Chains A and B, each alone.
Chain A
């Protein structure tokens, strides 16, 4: 009878039609490649009304950020670390909040971290007497003695190509900080990571000619049954190939792995070592030879006292014992905390050696990194109750921030803070001359002297946008708040002392704001233009490229930003391709001023434009994703073809790469040179 009753009761639990309809629409949009749907935070009243807005419009706010911002003027947006504010009285862990707030010191691990973890996870034991960990910088095994494994028979004697020609790199936010992608080049070879079959293809590209060098499997797991591993992205740096992926063959314990290969001879890659850490992949960065990996690990089951892996994130590496993150590397956020950890590790890829690891309770989801600091932002979910028992909706209106100092030898948990509002993506954050800048969309208005407690009635009725300037300790020094009411940030880019951002709704003013005097930001100009930009890219001195949409077609804009008080849309061009949101993945965009190339994926073709100050945008080529031939007699274009296509150049040749193969063109006239299928 249990079974019958269970089935009967559970059958009543179904998604309502509104939800179904909404999900189907999202699926449809993703399928058409139009939208990058942000995960979660979808079912609020607010979001729905945005989706319902038929006319989308743009405004650009230009903010001159002065680096000498010194006088803190507006404090209203910052969240202080007051702890139990806004927490209902009957929260189970109310005692812990105070504990966290009183012991939290980000510079050093609190002495009684174990007391906290014990209570936090409802454990009843004491570990404080028995510290664990792998010892400081242990595992510094001699690289030459490491396990190496030939992947291929060394049959090819690699031909030495002449000096590497000029070639393109993955489109990244910060110049010296590499970002992972599925297609990479080192100027001689093109590396393709196929996330559908976990294979790496290495193809030699020599003056447009393509020759297969080698292919091998970079699978994250040896589990044979149903394959739940997933390769994500890779790096190619000097003579290392690094493949990043997740292995969730044990579904309770997803780990993120990096496999390091020696490609000093790219035609004969050798597996060197793999490093892994608990949690789902958030992002990664490569600075010089040092790989930084960010994962998020939630613990949800009652921990087992004897099994440290049930409440502390673990580190794994080839030929070394599994070890939990050392206790003096565990940090705690103040304020409300999720039972999930953000885990940051650094690995020297050249030496195949783990350098450091840090973890903080509280999770994270977006990463900004330059060569000195890493900022990780975490969106906080708040639940809004109509009464004690009825959940009206949940919303996100606080972005928690943590800064890590990065160094060749170590990671330092340096500061924590929080701002009001929700960020769009990694471009919402930037650091310049020691100041951190962040643009957010805020539910409601920020009034001066306001605490974190908000009147829900007002927060739900409108949104505003804000820019905060924080110092390296993540204390607010300046801000502009209540910008563009009822609109939402759509793209952001910081260039030196200036910040640009696009918001949208039904009307389309283009704002220009000067905050060189942080005490009194001034509105400089307002201009109306149709359409909106989803990705902003500094193109040349005084020029800012925007890629976005107008009337559902791709729109290219060139903004003249030489005079911030008079920003103009200098040129624009509508590309009559039903729009594919290149903005959803900046790595799929190729922009190079010297070669005069602007490349991006349209819904049916890959487009290449050039820009000339007199002539404006000129279409140079429209390349098919897949060329019909004997191997592809009747292909049909799939979402994967569009999403996984990258354009790159080496010397005088342009290569269009996706998971099916590579096509090469002469870069001058885009004449087809050759085509190569995997």
Chain B
């Protein structure tokens, strides 16, 4: 109940101004799962994903005027999520935690699951695997969103596939 109340009260308060085409509350409803999943893929744990989710959408509220159209919103959110999650990476404490969360993963994942293998991929490759397989972006689109040359996206994707094929078994070999 509280959840819905907050949503509606936000719409009431929302001062969108002349230039803002995006309603942050609506954007949250549509894209919070995406941002959260990407943050999870990046950091490998839910606690950091919580923080990143919050930071990304606060940035959206502040920068909502910069987003020129609905089509720009999703790439913008992906980029900001990648940027925000950078500061959560590389921490020695995170390392420690990631090891623990191996056990965590076992709790909510079945045997033969593919997610742990994806999470073990190098940072660059993980994001591309996510955008390619989960979001269904083409290599060209990923290249635009990440400002990375098409060739680099292709080679990262192909390296990720090679790694996954080595790690995965059975039906999942079909990467």
Contacts and interface: CB of A to CB of B under 8 A. Distances in A.
Interface string A22-52: 1111111011100001011111000000000
B174 A2 contact: yes
Interface in A291-306: 296, 298-302
Interface string B147-173: 110000000000000001000100111
A640 B72 contact: no
Given A10-B115, A381-B91, A391-B47, A2 B122 contact: no
Contacts, number: 231
A88 interface: yes
A165 B78 CA distance: 48
B70 interface: no
A339 B17 contact: no
A379 B123 CA distance: 25
B10 A638 contact: no
A24 B14 CA distance: 12
Contact of B50 (A2, A15, A93, A251): A15
A159 interface: no
Contacts of A41: 51
Contacts of B171: 1-2, 5
Contacts of B123: 300-301
Interface in A364-392: 381-383, 385, 388-391
Contacts of B40: 13
A337 B92 contact: yes
A20 interface: yes
Contacts of B53: 15, 19, 23
A31 B33 contact: no
Interface stretch (A221-229, A478-486, A522-530, A562-570): A221-229
A27 B147 contact: no
**Most central of A32, A196, A390, A639 by chain B CB within 10 Å:** A639
Nearest to A301: B123
A92 B95 CA distance: 8
A163 interface: no
A15 B49 contact: yes
B113 A15 contact: no
Nearest to A339: B90
Contact of A92 (B49, B96, B173): B96
Given A21-B6, A27-B28, A14 B134 contact: no
A7 B147 contact: no
Contacts of B7: 24
A27 B58 contact: yes
A300 B126 CA distance: 13
B68 to A, nearest CB: 10
Interface string B4-39: 001101100111111110001100100011001100
B87 A340 contact: yes
Nearest to A337: B92
Contact of A88 (B37, B82, B96): B96
A338 B124 CA distance: 20
A337 B93 CA distance: 8
A27 B82 contact: no
A226 B20 CA distance: 18
Contacts of B139: none
Interface string A327-339: 0000000001111
- Give the interface SS of chain A, mostly helix, strand, loop or mixed: loop
Contacts of B87: 280, 296, 298, 340
A572 interface: no
Interface in A311-360: 336-340
A265 to B, nearest CB: 32
A455 interface: no
B98 to A, nearest CB: 10
Interface size class of A (residues with CB under 8 A): 35 or more
B10 A27 contact: yes
Nearest to B2: A21
A42 B92 contact: no
Interface string B114-152: 110010001110000110011000000000111110000
Nearest to A1: B171
Contacts of A300: 86, 89-90, 123
A31 B24 contact: yes
A251 B82 contact: yes
Contacts of A394: 47
A464 to B, nearest CB: 24
A90 B92 contact: no
A641 B65 CA distance: 11
A383 B93 contact: yes
A26 B58 contact: yes
A166 interface: no
Contacts of B14: 31
A7 B144 contact: no
A196 B25 CA distance: 21
B17 A639 contact: yes
A391 B107 CA distance: 13
Contacts of B83: 248, 251, 254, 280
Contact of B58 (A30, A248, A254): A30
A301 B61 CA distance: 30
Contacts of B2: 21
A269 to B, nearest CB: 24
A568 to B, nearest CB: 37
A340 B175 contact: no
Given A7-B134, A15-B50, A339-B92, A31 B61 contact: yes
Contacts of B57: 23, 26-27
Nearest 7 interchain pairs by C-beta: A638-B17, A339-B90, A300-B89, A389-B103, A300-B90, A1-B171, A298-B90
16 contacts: A2-B173, A3-B133, A5-B171, A22-B54, A91-B92, A91-B95, A226-B75, A249-B147, A251-B147, A338-B90, A338-B91, A340-B90, A383-B96, A389-B103, A390-B104, A638-B65
Interface of B: 2-3, 6-7, 9-10, 13-20, 24-25, 28, 32-33, 36-37, 40-41, 45-47, 49-51, 53-55, 57-58, 60-62, 64-66, 72, 75-76, 79, 82-83, 86-87, 89-93, 95-97, 99-101, 103-104, 108-109, 113-115, 118, 122-124, 129-130, 133-134, 144-148, 164, 168, 171-175
Given A5-B171, A31-B10, A390-B104, 18 more contacts: A1-B171, A2-B114, A13-B36, A20-B28, A23-B57, A26-B54, A37-B54, A92-B95, A228-B79, A251-B82, A280-B83, A383-B96, A391-B47, A637-B15, A637-B17, A638-B16, A639-B17, A640-B17
